Amino acid sequence: DAMVIQNPRYQVTQFGKPVTLSCSQTLNHNVMYWYQQKSSQAPKLLFHYYDKDFNNEADTPDNFQSRRPNTSFCFLDIRSPGLGDAAMYLCATSSAPLSYEQYFGPGTRLTVT
């Protein structure tokens, strides 16, 4: 089945230690998104790639970066995680344009100690 895969499902990192979360898709979608979701809140869009074009949300901290080396893979890098960055991180994909339905991966739950 075509799908969105996120690894790892659970990640523990230390305060200030860089961490990378990965996402891959077999849907061949043009657009890939990264969301942050804190407990009992709606997902918050951090950024998205439209093909190779990177689009950052205005309120996304500089601490968060992303890479998309090819159509299938996208990475979320947190350069210096703080305690406030503990959250579920969701990857999603969609075919163009942005507003169409999005397909979500299972998420990576990040704990910062």
Partner 1 sequence: AQSVTQLDSQVPVFEEAPVELRCNYSSSVSVYLFWYVQYPNQGLQLLLKYLSGSTLVKGINGFEAEFNKSQTSFHLRKPSVHISDTAEYFCAVSVYGNKLVFGAGTILRVKS
Specify the stretch interacting with partner 1 by CB under 8 A; choose among 11-19, 40-48, 61-69, 73-81: 40-48
Interaction residues for partner 1, span 83-102 (CB under 8 A): 88, 90, 92, 97-102
Give min distance, CB of 112 to partner 1, in A.
Answer: 17
Does 25 interact with partner 1 (rule: CB under 8 A)?
no
Q: Is 100 exposed, middle or buried (CB count within 10 Å of its CB: 0-12, 13-18, 19+)? A: exposed
Running DSSP on this structure, what letter comes out for residue 70?
A: S
Among 45, 46, 76, 112, binds partner 1 (CB under 8 A): 45
Is the sign of the CA dihedral 94, 95, 98, 99 positive or negative?
A: negative
Task: Return the amino acid letter for 71.
Answer: T
Running DSSP on this structure, what letter comes out for residue 16?
A: T
Running DSSP on this structure, what letter comes out for residue 84?
A: G
Positions that interact with partner 1 (CB under 8 A): 4, 6, 40-43, 45, 48, 88, 90, 92, 97-107, 109
